[in-house]
Structures are given as C-alpha cells and as structure tokens.
C-alpha cells in the first residue's frame, strides 16, 4: 500500500496510490485531514503497513515521533529525487535530463516539483516550527506526479549502458532508494531518542583535564597555567597562544622555524616550549569544542540529540548539524553511558572500505587476505613480508590516491600483488581526471566536474597546463575515493536499515530489544536492556551479512563486525 501524505491548507492531504504512482481507484481525490485528527489517522492507517510517500521525512516524521507515532517505511521524494536526478543508471531518462536542465537554466535544485521545500505549516501545535519558511507548498498532485516521474525513471534504469554495470541496475537503485528513505526515518528516530549522556560524568572529565569550571568567558585553570608558562618560555608576556599569528611570531623569535602551527610540524622541534604548547592546544580544543559551553547547549535531560543530515555528503555518507555529533572526541566518550539496567552495544564494521574495494574489484587474491579477520594482516602476509603497518599504509594510500611519502612508494608493490583491486581505483581516478562521472555499487553517482575543472580545460600556456593537470589529479583523487567511500556508504545504509527492521521485529514479538541511538559511517550504537543484549548483537551481525549479500550477492568476502557490550562508550574498541 502506497500512501501519499502532503501538506494542505486545512491540514494534510492523504491519497492512496498504486505502485507506479497513479491514484488508486478507491481514492481518485485526496482525503483532507485536519491537523487535529492527523496523528490519529496516521496511527490508524499504519496498521495496514503502508509505504508513506512524502516530500521530506524531516518535515513530517519528527512531529509524528513527538506525538508517539512510529512508522515502518516511507519514500522520501527529496532524497530519492536527488539520487535519481544524478545517477548514471538513470542519466538517459527524461527525469534526469529535465532535472539537469532545470539546475542549469533556472538555478533550481532537482527534482523539479520539490523546490522550494514546502513546510507542513499551519498544522496546529503539532507541527509548529518557526524555523520552517513560509513558501509556496506543493499540491498533492505535484507530489503525486513527482513520485510517478521517479518511478518511471527507476523502471528505465535497466536501459542503455546497463551491461557496463553488470546489470541489476534497477534492483540496485531501488534498494538504494529504500535504504536512503529508511535512513531518513532512522535519523529522525535517533534524534528523537538521543544518545544517553551523563552530564556529571562529562563534568568530571572536564575537571580532570581543565580544572574547575571557570566563570563564563574565562580560561580554565589548567589553560591559564599553560599560558603563563608559554609566555615565559617564549619570552612573550602578552602572548595569546590561541592566535596562530601571534604564536607564529613568538615561535620565530625563539628560533623555532615552522611554516605552520600544526601539531605534527611542531613535533619536529625540540624546544622546551613545544611540549606545553601541544598540551595547550589539546586542552584548548577540548574546552572550546566539547567543554561546559557545549554541555549546556547540547545535552538536555541526559540525552544528546543531534540532527543527522542524510544525504549530506555527496558520497552518501551522513553529515550532522549542531554539536559536532560525528566528531565526539575520545577524551569525553566516558560521558556516553548506558541507563541503569541497560548496556551500550557498540559495533563497527572492521576495515570496511578495503573490504568494499575487494568486493567491487572482485580481486580473488585480495579476497583471500580478506578472509582473515584482520584484513591488513592478511595483505601483509601475502605481499609485505608480514609488515602489517606497511600493508595498511599502502592500501589506504591506494584508496585515497597517495603519490608521495611511504604510501606512494609502496604503490608499485601493492599493484604487483593486487592488479585488479588497484586497477579498479586507478580506473575511477582516470575517469574523474577526464571529467567523467563515477558511480557507487548501488547507483549513487559523483557530481559533474566543477567550474574550476571546466575552465582549466581551456588552458594554453605551459603554466596553465600544469595547473590544469593539478586540478584534474585532484578530481581523480576524489572520484577514486568516491567509488569506495560511496559503496561503503551504500553498505552502511543497508546495514542500518536491516538492523532497524530486525529490532522492530523483536519488539513486535514482545522480546525486549534495544534502540538505535548513534550512527557514524561504519559504526552503530544500540542502547538496550541487559536482557536484550544477546538478541541485539545477533541482529547487528545478521544485518551486516544481509547488507553484504544485498550489495554483492554471495561472494567469498567477509564483512566482519566487531561488537563491544559496554556501560560507557570509552570502553568500546
């Protein structure tokens, strides 16, 4: 069952559609539901397990969750439209070509019917959101047509050029759209739930590193002491060590000839001021980024509730807004603590990107190494005389496009042992250098070349040509990484969606189950009652294997998940 939910002046419009987006005979005209009755109506209809089709998950779902309504599945027109408008799998369709034309001619973002975002405004207290703009909204008919157009494009994905991607393009893209929409729901659910965060533990950690909480706008004691020490050691009585300019001058006056004030460059010097300076930088960062101010701003009632931005990174990774949710430093992870009677299950996919590369390239030799729980150890044994560190640097260098340093020097050695895997990323790099698009396993494509790249193609002089080559190589490094990072994001999206499905199934059975509370590229955190730990761990592992098979079928490559059951986040890993 497909149910369109659209904003309407009198509340919301509901319409049942068929799979291809035509109105269901039973509902030729949308049903208008007042804002007051909307929650109840949605809750009732959910019994029939529909796929809710809406403009943006973020416009509808948070308010429904706040009202206690959880839904099973949706179709996010904005996220799916963005994928379809750019995917190589649908590049030949009218949908993508119209979207492309609109972006170029009118500076509008695709998909065409969805710009600008319509607020589900005027829907009573439930949907009050002063942050939403009052802009022209889209009629149910606009959204229905948009959905039909997207389904049409999807159905054509098996078109010209399909063999280049090994077929199955429609199924893969369909899977990606489902996973992306599920991701949008998970993001809203995780924001609603929040990460369990013990404020008093956070404060203990801060006090340990920085001293007692200072008055607003003042440096904590430890930073004051280090500042005084640095002023003396560098003979600069008024130095502000937070200012790179002042710091640079002071360092130079003392014969410390650095070109930047970055940590790794400072570490080269043996001057007595370096050690306290590095300590200052470390603590200053903690204070500024995750200190008392952060705690006051972002943690409420024992929960950290960041906003996740699904589709926020072109590769398909999520971004986040507010509180630096994807950069929680190790120093303060001790504050992430399970509730009484609960545990945190922290699981991460071990060495995800190299394993994805093995599967993408179908490199049989590297697949042997990937049978090892520790892929880098396997690679080291095969081609690097057992030197794990070398194997790791070489492989990551291949994925990132390293040319210099140890990583660059190891490339020939890696290429000899694994010509297929290295050839795969080299090919992606050459495509990017030539201005072409590359695509993830499930069909998310890289953006077209930047204006900078296009302009550089006009170069005439030798100087301009060097510049053009540099810009091309930079794009090559991006597309080289895109195929791996993007496919890893495909895998992670499927992992997450499969895990959510299993956790919901456990709950529906009446089995105690945990809740997803955090997701970070290749890592998930489930907060669960102690009695549910075993079932949740199994769900996480089964979901990982399911994700592998959804992407690649039954292949002889493992995607092992390392699982830690802990009271606090700092005890994971």
Partner DNA sequence: ATGATGCGCGCG
Partner DNA sequence: AAAGCGCGCGCATCAT
How far apart (Å, rounded) are the C-alpha atoms in residues 37 and 44? 11
By residue count, the chain amounts to 573
**Residue 560, SS3?**
coil
The owner of tokens 């795969």 is 424
**321 sits near DNA (criterion: CB under 7 A):** yes
Q: Which 273-292 positions form the footprint of DNA (CB under 7 A)?
A: 281-282, 285, 288-289
CA gap 157, 80 in Å, rounded: 14
Question: Among 370, 402, 499, 513, which residue sits at the site for DNA (rule: CB under 7 A)?
Answer: 402
In sequence order, which residues have a C-beta less than 8 Å from that of residue 499 and are 6 or more positions away? Answer: 516, 524, 526, 539, 540, 543
CA distance 470 to 452: 11
Which residue in 202, 521, 527, 548 binds DNA (CB under 7 A)?
521
Is 328 a binding residue for DNA by CB under 7 A? The answer is yes
> Binding residues for DNA, how many (CB under 7 A)?
60
Q: To which residue do tokens 């027109």 refer?
A: 77
- Residue 452 as a binder of DNA (CB under 7 A): the answer is no
In contact, 140 and 8? CB cutoff 8 Å: yes
CB 542, min distance to DNA, A: 21
Q: Which of 434, 471, 476, 432 is nearest to 455 (CA)?
A: 471
Task: Determine, following the binding rule CB under 7 A, whether residue 520 of this chain makes contact with DNA.
Answer: yes
Residue 470 interacting with DNA (CB under 7 A): no
How much is the CA Rg of the chain, to the nearest whole Å? Answer: 26
Q: How far is the CB of 258 from DNA (least distance, A)?
A: 8
Is residue 168 near DNA by the rule CB under 7 A? no
177-196: contacts with DNA (CB under 7 A): none
- Which among 168, 180, 184 is positioned nearest to 83, based on CA atoms? 180
Pairing of strands 561-566, 2-8: unpaired
324 binds DNA (CB under 7 A): yes
The reply on whether position 403 binds DNA by CB under 7 A is: yes
Which of residues 228 and 288 has its CB atom nearest to DNA in the complex?
288
Q: Given CA atoms 548, 328, 209, 245 in this order, what sign does their dihedral have? A: positive
Least distance from C-beta 140 to DNA, angstroms? Answer: 32
| Nearer CB in complex with DNA: 312/419 | 312
Asked if 236 touches DNA (CB under 7 A), the answer is no
Min separation Cβ 291 and DNA, Å: 8
Nearer to DNA, 61 or 280 (CB): 280
Helix, strand or coil for residue 562?
Answer: strand
Interacting residue with DNA among 204, 243, 455, 511 (CB under 7 A): 243
Closest residue by Cα to residue 443 from 490, 475, 496, 497? 490
Binding mask 71-110 for DNA (x = CB under 7 A): ----------------------------------------
Nearest residue (CB) to DNA, 281 versus 527: 281
Q: Which of 235, 211, 213, 245 is CA-nearest to residue 225?
A: 211
3-state SS track over 205-260: HHHHHHCCCCCCCCCCHHHHHHHHHHHHHCCCCCCCCCCHHHHHHHHHHCCCCCCC
Among 263, 455, 465, 534, binds DNA (CB under 7 A): 263
Between residues 217 and 510, which has the closer beta carbon with respect to DNA?
A: 217
Q: Does 238 bind DNA (CB under 7 A)?
A: no
Tokens in use for 514? 């945990």
Residue 406 contacts DNA per CB under 7 A: yes
Which residue, chain included where needed, has tokens 């179709």? 75
Handedness of CA 543, 545, 546, 547 (dihedral sign): positive
Q: How far is the CB of 371 from DNA (least distance, A)?
A: 22
Distances (CA, A) of 474 to 73, 184, 435, 452: 39, 31, 11, 11
264 binds DNA (CB under 7 A): yes
| Minimum distance, C-beta of residue 270 to DNA, in the bound complex (Å) | 13
Binder among 78, 115, 151, 481 for DNA (CB under 7 A): 481
| CA–CA gap between residue 277 and residue 259 (Å, rounded) | 16
Asked if 329 touches DNA (CB under 7 A), the answer is: yes
Q: How far is the CB of 220 from DNA (least distance, A)?
A: 12
Site residues (CB under 7 A) for DNA, limited to 296-315: 309, 312-315
Q: Is 327 in the site for DNA (CB under 7 A)?
A: yes
Q: How far is the CB of 50 from DNA (least distance, A)?
A: 32
Rule CB under 7 A: which residues touch DNA?
240, 242-246, 260-264, 267-268, 281-282, 285, 288-289, 294, 309, 312-315, 317, 319-324, 326-331, 348, 389, 393, 396-397, 400-407, 474, 477-478, 481-482, 485, 520-523
């Amino acid at each position: 069952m497909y149910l369109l939910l659209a904003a309407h002046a009198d509340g919301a419009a509901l319409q049942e559609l068929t799979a291809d987006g035509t109105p269901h005979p039973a509902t030729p005209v949308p049903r208008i539901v007042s804002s007051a009755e909307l929650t109840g109506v949605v809750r009732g209809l959910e019994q029939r397990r529909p796929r809710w089709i809406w403009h943006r998950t973020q416009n509808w779902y948070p308010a429904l969750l706040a009202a206690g309504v959880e839904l099973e599945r949706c179709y996010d027109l904005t996220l799916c439209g963005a994928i379809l408008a750019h995917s190589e799998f649908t590049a030949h369709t009218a949908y993508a070509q119209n979207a492309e034309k609109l972006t170029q001619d009118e500076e509008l973002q695709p998909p065409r019917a969805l710009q600008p975002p319509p607020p589900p405004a005027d829907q009573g207290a439930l949907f009050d959101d002063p942050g939403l703009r009052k802009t022209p909204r889209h009629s149910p008919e606009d959204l229905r047509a948009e959905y039909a157009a997207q389904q049409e494009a999807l159905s054509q994905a098996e078109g010209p050029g399909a063999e280049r991607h090994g077929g199955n393009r429609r199924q893969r893209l369909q899977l990606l759209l489902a996973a992306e929409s599920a991701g949008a729901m998970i993001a809203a659910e995780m924001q609603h739930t929040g990460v369990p965060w013990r404020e008093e533990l956070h404060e203990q950690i801060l006090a340990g590193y920085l001293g007692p909480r200072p008055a607003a706008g003042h440096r904590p004691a430890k930073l004051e002491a280090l500042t005084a020490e640095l002023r003396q050691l560098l003979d600069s009585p008024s130095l502000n060590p937070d200012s790179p300019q002042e710091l640079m001058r002071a360092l130079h006056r003392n014969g410390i000839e650095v070109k930047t004030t970055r940590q790794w460059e400072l570490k080269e010097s043996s001057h007595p001021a370096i050690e306290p300076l590095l300590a200052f930088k470390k603590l200053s960062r903690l204070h500024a980024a995750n200190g008392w101010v952060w705690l006051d701003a972002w943690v409420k009632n024992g929960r950290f509730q960041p906003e996740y931005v699904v589709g926020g990174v072109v590769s398909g990774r999520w971004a986040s807004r507010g509180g630096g949710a994807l950069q929680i430093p190790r120093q303060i992870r001790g504050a992430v603590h399970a509730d009484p009677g609960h545990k945190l299950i922290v699981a991460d996919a071990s060495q995800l990107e190299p394993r994805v590369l093995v599967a993408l390239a179908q490199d049989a030799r590297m697949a042997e190494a990937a049978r090892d729980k520790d892929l880098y150890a396997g690679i080291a044994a095969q081609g690097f005389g057992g030197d794990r560190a070398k194997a790791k640097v070489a492989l990551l260098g291949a994925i990132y496009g390293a040319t210099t340093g140890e990583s660059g020097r190891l490339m020939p050695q890696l290429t000899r042992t694994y010509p297929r895997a290295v050839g795969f990323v080299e090919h992606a790099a050459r495509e990017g250098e030539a201005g072409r698009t590359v695509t993830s396993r499930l069909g998310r494509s890289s953006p077209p070349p930047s204006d900078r790249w296009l302009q550089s193609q006009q170069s005439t002089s030798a100087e301009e040509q060097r510049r053009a080559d540099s810009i091309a190589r930079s794009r090559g490094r991006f597309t080289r990484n895109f195929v791996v990072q993007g496919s890893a994001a495909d895998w992670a999206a499927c992992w997450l969606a499969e895990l959510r499905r299993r956790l919901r199934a456990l709950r529906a059975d009446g089995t105690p189950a945990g809740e997803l509370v955090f997701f970070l590229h290749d890592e998930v955190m489930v907060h669960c009652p102690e009695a549910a730990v075993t079932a949740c761990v199994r769900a996480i592992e089964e979901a990982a294997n399911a994700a592998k098979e959804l992407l690649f079928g039954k292949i002889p490559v493992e995607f092992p998940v390392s699982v830690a059951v802990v009271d606090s986040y700092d005890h994971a890993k």
